[in-house]
Structure 1
């Protein structure tokens, strides 16, 4: 059964009511985090050898065997399957036919929307099918707030906005930075904007936001440095595409409001979340360089880049560098 975003948290909290969960999408960090959450709920641990069977791609042939096995110490078992693709469907179908209370947790990063595995499990009434995509804007701010609240750390609103503007979209990277800040603040502590900036330090310069904002503003030197640092930190080219599209959408909104008669300053102030003050100059330069037609062409190119990066054997790092170079050149580089 396909689970919408509003019901995801409740479904994950009640995963014991399901035979299994399929976690697909482009954010591997979020997929892994949600899979671990499900496993802990059922088995109380991620590495209990009696209650948790972790199957990598080479071990997919054991799915039916593990689903039918009993725990030697009692309690429900979890079969945690990673790197699932369509080839796994016959084994999952056979496993679900077994009379067992074992829960299947299936990670399927990059699974296509028309994939047979996804279609079949979305139609299964006892399988929760959940998309895991990079968070941005209000969704990212809400997730950051939840992470800090769970750690009993208070954060100023300005600090949250700044974090949402500089952190990458990958969930694992976001959680890593939050854990660093939580350790800095201590339980019951409070973080100001200055605290967050001091703690994050130069890592903010390695974010996708720096690369995309500088590229759209035509600042090739800053964009290239930011991209290379992000690549060194394990940047996902898919996340780069999403960051580009997010920024282009915000620029288009401002242009639309300006067409309605608002001044540039008034239009920028309408954006939620607001433009971080240190990014204001770059954002304004981008508005001066791009018009609606140019943004539409660039969006189409970014969508094509994302599709290409999902193909097996694609030189995605080279394509990432080429995309940033094109954005630095401006609208003319996307003329047909």
Structure 2
């Protein structure tokens, strides 16, 4: 069996067992899934820029034609050399395509599968965890220690320094998605410019707070049905933030509203229910208004819409922005202000 814990991933991937011919990367952090998949695929070939050595396959295509992956893995390279096959995320089941390769691993190619947040009972995850020739790698949101390491590496690569207090402050302002965190750090380093060190003043000026306020503005606009505010906030966030992460934030708020709505149906007042959501004071009034305007049924519909949109965004990164916009505008049309 080749199953590891999340905290063991970096060490296992640093020196992979030669017996591992298939890697499954899964988990809620799609940025980390993509980053690790790209790293192991590129490390498995001599020239990552050679399309004959590093082959990209669409997950939906592989699910529709399982033998395609088997054929590709067992194809001998025209010019020899090591080969890697990287399969993108799909909501469809890939077990039929993977099982033949687990039974008879390819000698000439490494297969890298990207997946979403697979449950323990998911057939693909179970099959890979049980196979000696595969490694199943969980990818969860960065812990503070991991973020600290990323910050140090990126700051050092930029020729800057950062003290412990500033690093801890920055860590507290970053989220759990690896790619989003890296983009925030890159933006910070650009802002630092020629200054030799990253300071708390730099962090306060450019990271986290403004994005958090914009994100909160977008979320409240969605559930209030305020299209101008939604349009403005989405326009600013869409270019800076992973669309799946953005939709995930809206989904978390929808779930919190649903929980509060159920508490109201059990006898609590709207104000008491909102207090249980642990929101900053300025956001309590919009949340209370949303609870008054949204029914339990509509909130459940919102959860389904957002979950479907997140899966679609993960499947098709090129269409992420229009898919996210459509989901948010659909919800806004349901908001109390939109119905008046």
Confirm or deny a common fold (TM above 0.5): yes
Does the residue aligned with 2:245 lie in a helix, a strand or coil?
helix
Residues 89-168 of structure 1: pairs in structure 2 closer than 5 A:
89=95, 92-96=98-102, 97-98=104-105, 100=107, 102-108=109-115, 117-132=124-139, 135=141, 139=142, 143-151=146-154, 152=156, 153-154=161-162, 155-164=166-175
2:36: which partner in 1? 34
Residues 245-256 of structure 1: pairs in structure 2 closer than 5 A:
245-247=251-253
2:283: which partner in 1? 283
Does the residue aligned with 2:49 lie in a helix, a strand or coil?
coil
1:190: which partner in 2? 198
Equivalent residue pairs, number: 302
By how many angstroms is 1:191 displaced? 3.0
Does the residue aligned with 1:120 lie in a helix, a strand or coil?
helix
Aligned to 1:62, which of 72, 84, 105?
A: 72
1:47: which partner in 2? 49
Task: Confirm or deny: 8 A CA contact 2:224 2:336 kept in the other structure.
Answer: yes
Does the residue aligned with 1:103 lie in a helix, a strand or coil?
strand
Task: Confirm or deny: 8 A CA contact 1:25 1:31 kept in the other structure.
Answer: yes
Gaps of at least 5 residues in structure 1 are none
2:230 corresponds to 1:223: yes
2:248: which partner in 1? 242
Q: Distance in 2 between matches of 1:187 and 1:70?
A: 49
1:180: which partner in 2? 187
Q: Distance in 2 between matches of 1:303 and 1:109?
A: 18
Q: Distance in 2 between matches of 1:248 and 1:241?
A: 10
By how many angstroms is 1:148 displaced? 0.6
Does the residue aligned with 2:303 lie in a helix, a strand or coil?
helix
Residues 317-336 of structure 1: pairs in structure 2 closer than 5 A:
317-326=325-334, 329=337
For the aligned residue pairs, the C-alpha RMSD in angstroms reads 5.1
Q: Distance in 2 between matches of 1:189 and 1:242?
A: 33
Gaps of at least 5 residues in structure 2 are 62-67
| 1:308 to 1:223, Cα distance in 2 relative to 1, 3 A | same
Q: Distance in 2 between matches of 1:110 and 1:157?
A: 28
Task: Confirm or deny: 8 A CA contact 1:23 1:107 kept in the other structure.
Answer: yes
